[in-house]
Structure 1
């Protein structure tokens, strides 16, 4: 083993021995020697011997006091992927348990997958399957990703750095949150945010530093005040204060549509007490001492988060007008909040925290159900991102059972969360005793009763408004099955007709003989291919009876002349523009225009207005102009975005921006937009004063999310006073 790695290894051994005197240290030493030999000659991007990486991954896990098998897995997690070592070698040397864990962590880099995204999706699919069997797979994977993110700056390829950071933000940080590992989640988010949005990260850090300078003793003073209040009430409490992470601040600016200065909880204080009763007593003390910020109280003790997180959160106003957040919890709640599922190993000698059972996590069961419904790994990845990466609302069944859903969820999402069959047979819903539309967004505390009907099937229109991955996967599977059934029926009829026209036999035995030639796995697949137009019915006839295939005609000596009355063909640019209109639900060839009053973008809910001689004009569903068409409802047409063509199209979004009237303001505006891949197509100054410029900016963007990213980035800039999406 290299000397440097030996030094790291000695530190690792000491850390393991410190929290677990009964650990199998000889097994860990053998794993160190095995990994060092396997990775001999390999180096990291920073030039260090490769063995330093698995040692660091194992060291990260010691903070969570994991068992010996997890430490050994961390040391061996790359030997199968990056060396000639096989899983059989690992099992012979370290047993079946470690081999199974190593297999769960190993990427599928040896599979021949069609794209980088397919590779990522297949890796994630395997990870979900593995962690459903043993959650330790996820612990090792998160530690591996954390060390890779800590050393990301040494990766020279910028595109690779951004891909790793984006994957971290979209998949691994939400997974860390789901199992309650707040420390890892926060660090992963911060490191990824710094790579993906360096300007926004620097701007937020500068503003935090400015606030810190203005009130250098604020955290210390408030901490002491809270500690004194608890002591006077006879409550023994541990009080700490901290600043929120830059990424959480960025998200709140983005989601709440507010500027940095409007955020109320940049600073948070934690009060740790001895019992649940003292939690509520401490809450009353805080509310008595400070003014409460309305709408900022959350009771996660009575309704814990899906990852087991429990705490009281409240927002209060300090005398000088500063808003802060106060979190109140017991010591056990704090350990679960900090260590999540790893709290079992952290406190295994105390016996106060039960062993982790992955099946207790509703979200993990949901991922497994999505895995069963999804047609492929990429669709699975899409739906699981929807499942993980959202805020939550807490709703109740009529019996009082708690159902946790993403923000924006509807009764259909609720029905599928209860059970897949309940979702499939859903025909209506009562929210708090009143029958409401199925597209109604649910709010915290709603009691939801699902009305079902035997024999009912999912409505394909539901896919337009559901937000959970499970609901979308189930509906999409039904739609695909329904479409395939129609194609099979149509294809069978088309083949019967084609064979009859040629006057030859076209039974199943004949068709089975051409399956291999036409590259179809079964008769049903052949019928579906014909019904969908992928294979022509005459092509099947000629495959079965090659002698019927017409002979090719000789090439004429002179090209045929086009008739004079032929219409001029559209230019390449016109044809491309016509194909790029990503609207579903229209009659083929119908002209489409986007309304200039609301500038709809993919991601907006939209409606179409039919105008004689002009085709259809697309408006956002909340466009005020629609009120003028209320008297002619027959002009409305139900449309949606065609997701198959969105990636190619560019759309115009309009922003109302107020900037400081000072040098560099306009340059900052254009630079921020350009760095986020937006393109300014028009800029109009509509107002000017000694202090401010008011302007309308038209941007070419991909969709609503892209525009939202640009808005959030502009709000983080000190030169921008305000920025909103313009509706005119």
Structure 2
């Protein structure tokens, strides 16, 4: 391989270092000659452009090596997925066949390559978070959990090198996709370090101002924080050494993303956050002594510092579904500050850092229960064949970030459910039939309704009735995706049966009145009456909201009118058929937005929270008031993508901008009326820009002015901002969101 031509000098140095590190990481899991065979195949295929640079100039082979290194050293994957990851591009580019690779490495590797090719195909067509692709993505996950782990590794690597992207929209897309799907998946699989890093990098690329503010504040408080941690840890270290424990103890600052969440949720300043860090005690102890030694450490620490019983969490007695085991306590430290302390063993710490994949190292110790539960969630989502893709994404995502509670069946079997789960969620988690027939329950021997929200430690006994069946209002209070999936499935099946019965009734009534039904005319009538689906129309007949005779009369009236129009006007060429609707009038502007898959002429509104104008990078959000267009840098963008990703649609500007958009600029400068006069003069002289209003406030020798202008596009806006910045005495100019 001519590495000189293929790599830059910096890339070559990085490749050799990472390649050696990768081999060290997976060496013990490789078979004889694996390395030689792999090297030969890569050398053979590099010249065939299998590992060529993408549109951002990122070297394909270097990307795969970096992803493989994350997958093995940070997640714990071994031989088969790593070889598959390094070679799947050769099959994708048709330089090698699956048969050739199977001959060298066996059927496991080729099966893994086939699965990676499916996900690669999804990304070639569109982002994986696109609702159309999501069902196929889940299928890949259901086949092999290692596919998820490799994709998580790849997304993390792309986030880490995000600054190399030429197009900011690519960087934002990767960040929002990670925030919506891959960070929650990492959380669900127990990859907490990766989850935190993904969330931090997503925030960095989508809200740099907030990210830099928190980072700066953390840097400013680092010295005092380190001093406090040292003061808190010192007596604990001494006591644990005296008790004969082997351990590591360290302070860990919380992630920028989690700090930002606290600032938003609690509506406080940075200085108001008391739990910026946690102390972690990691014991080096045999498996059979893990629980007892963790509790001994708990006892020692709570003897020294006053614990807060409200904030004690025991995930050692009952681990989380993703395998997480740890004992969390919050104690009152020096200077009357609350401090979180996490107590765990070395094995538990590795599982906490590397997730369920780390269980494979500890075969037989609660090995893959959590993984099985997660895969059952994936398969349950796929069982809902009638669901549209948006529903599938919404229901699946519900289970990813939820905290857990533990409840018991009457026989003492432990069931894990998300926090906020109801009696009905519990019933569906046991069996679909039990959920469908659930009438009420006895919780701790007390009668409760199906809406009752369960608490940790409850014992639940479900009461059923043979006449009970799923109701639409059940969807308003269940929390698990399994319950929602099964309820929707049952409602759809019931609606289909009812609609079929109503259709037969209508057809019989037409026949009784000796009327031959034209399906096209009937469909036009249903549409004219405002129904989105034919099923809704027939359900209204079933519920007697529509009278059969009135429907037939309306049908005959429509048929008569259509016949009269045709007879009076005669046939016309379709070429000359022009109609103007409100929607088309909106979309006839040259600065039209192209929405989703090259659709134009769709009515939309520009969101007031960020005031997008022609030229901004934008996306569409399907709200209850129709499609709203937001800027990618909208202050609400991250929350919309992370919570409502299934409602996001693509949007881009097309044509030329002739319309005017009102935007506001905040200008700060020296308090001098002449400077304000110069600013208004600059605005008035700028061709195609109109000053609509401005207001000025002065304080401490500075003025702050909000100038509202009418402008055509972002290019014109950028020119105007540059010119205002050149006015002597102006300190800063920034565009306001609203």
TM range (shorter): 0.5 to 0.7
C-alpha distance in structure 1 between counterparts of 2:123 and 2:242, whole Å: 67
Given that residues 186 and 194 in structure 2 are in contact (C-alpha distance below 8 angstroms), is that contact kept between their aligned partners in structure 1?
yes
1:481 matched to 2:523? The reply is no
The Cα shift of 1:277 comes to 0.9
Secondary structure of the residue aligned to 1:336 is helix
Given that residues 16 and 65 in structure 1 are in contact (C-alpha distance below 8 angstroms), is that contact kept between their aligned partners in structure 2?
no
Higher helix proportion, which one? Answer: 2
Is the alpha carbon distance of 1:144 and 1:674 closer, same or farther for their aligned partners in structure 2, counting shifts above 3 Å?
closer
C-alpha distance in structure 2 between counterparts of 1:143 and 1:458, whole Å: 41
C-alpha distance in structure 2 between counterparts of 1:74 and 1:556, whole Å: 66
1:352-381 CA distance string (max 9 Å, x none): 666964785323202211210252333221
Given that residues 125 and 371 in structure 1 are in contact (C-alpha distance below 8 angstroms), is that contact kept between their aligned partners in structure 2?
yes
The Cα shift of 1:184 comes to 1.8
Extract structure 1 runs of 4+ deviating beyond 6 A: 82-86, 671-677
**More moved, 74-83 vs 391-400:** 74-83
Is the alpha carbon distance of 1:343 and 1:673 closer, same or farther for their aligned partners in structure 2, counting shifts above 3 Å?
closer
**More moved, 289-298 vs 305-314:** 289-298
C-alpha distance in structure 2 between counterparts of 1:472 and 1:252, whole Å: 30
Note the 1:327-346 alignment, pairs <5 A.
327-344=342-359
* Structure 2 residue ranges without an equivalent (≥5): 522-532, 542-547, 571-580, 587-620, 629-633, 641-661, 664-698, 700-738
Given that residues 187 and 400 in structure 2 are in contact (C-alpha distance below 8 angstroms), is that contact kept between their aligned partners in structure 1?
no
1:219 matched to 2:229? The reply is yes
Pairwise CA RMSD of aligned residues? 4.5
1:648 matched to 2:626? The reply is yes
The Cα shift of 1:168 comes to 0.9
1:397-426 CA distance string (max 9 Å, x none): 233322222232221122222222221111
Residue 202 (structure 1) aligns with: 212
Note the 1:413-452 alignment, pairs <5 A.
413-452=425-464
1:278-331 CA distance string (max 9 Å, x none): 100100111111121241110001111001111100011212122221111122
Given that residues 311 and 327 in structure 1 are in contact (C-alpha distance below 8 angstroms), is that contact kept between their aligned partners in structure 2?
yes
**More moved, 190-199 vs 120-129:** 120-129
**More moved, 177-186 vs 299-308:** 177-186
C-alpha distance in structure 2 between counterparts of 1:206 and 1:532, whole Å: 59
Secondary structure of the residue aligned to 2:311 is coil
C-alpha distance in structure 1 between counterparts of 2:483 and 2:163, whole Å: 39
**Residues matched between the structures, number:** 560
Secondary structure of the residue aligned to 1:269 is strand
From 37, 50, 53, the equivalent of 1:43 is: 53
Is the alpha carbon distance of 1:86 and 1:175 closer, same or farther for their aligned partners in structure 2, counting shifts above 3 Å?
farther
Is the alpha carbon distance of 1:305 and 1:676 closer, same or farther for their aligned partners in structure 2, counting shifts above 3 Å?
closer
Task: Give the alignment's TM-score, normalised by structure 1.
Answer: 0.67
1:464 matched to 2:479? The reply is no
The Cα shift of 1:472 comes to 1.4
Given that residues 323 and 370 in structure 2 are in contact (C-alpha distance below 8 angstroms), is that contact kept between their aligned partners in structure 1?
no
Given that residues 264 and 323 in structure 1 are in contact (C-alpha distance below 8 angstroms), is that contact kept between their aligned partners in structure 2?
yes
* Structure 1 residue ranges without an equivalent (≥5): 515-525, 558-570, 577-642, 651-670, 681-689, 691-728
The Cα shift of 1:118 comes to 8.1
Given that residues 104 and 126 in structure 1 are in contact (C-alpha distance below 8 angstroms), is that contact kept between their aligned partners in structure 2?
no
Residue 607 (structure 2) aligns with: none
C-alpha distance in structure 2 between counterparts of 1:387 and 1:359, whole Å: 13
Residue 22 (structure 2) aligns with: 15
Given that residues 308 and 330 in structure 2 are in contact (C-alpha distance below 8 angstroms), is that contact kept between their aligned partners in structure 1?
yes
From 372, 376, 383, the equivalent of 1:361 is: 372
C-alpha distance in structure 2 between counterparts of 1:35 and 1:309, whole Å: 42
From 305, 308, 312, the equivalent of 2:320 is: 305
C-alpha distance in structure 2 between counterparts of 1:255 and 1:399, whole Å: 40
Secondary structure of the residue aligned to 1:395 is strand
Given that residues 443 and 459 in structure 2 are in contact (C-alpha distance below 8 angstroms), is that contact kept between their aligned partners in structure 1?
yes
C-alpha distance in structure 1 between counterparts of 2:267 and 2:414, whole Å: 30
Given that residues 184 and 195 in structure 2 are in contact (C-alpha distance below 8 angstroms), is that contact kept between their aligned partners in structure 1?
yes
From 25, 47, 70, the equivalent of 2:81 is: 70
Is the alpha carbon distance of 1:34 and 1:221 closer, same or farther for their aligned partners in structure 2, counting shifts above 3 Å?
farther
C-alpha distance in structure 2 between counterparts of 1:264 and 1:447, whole Å: 36
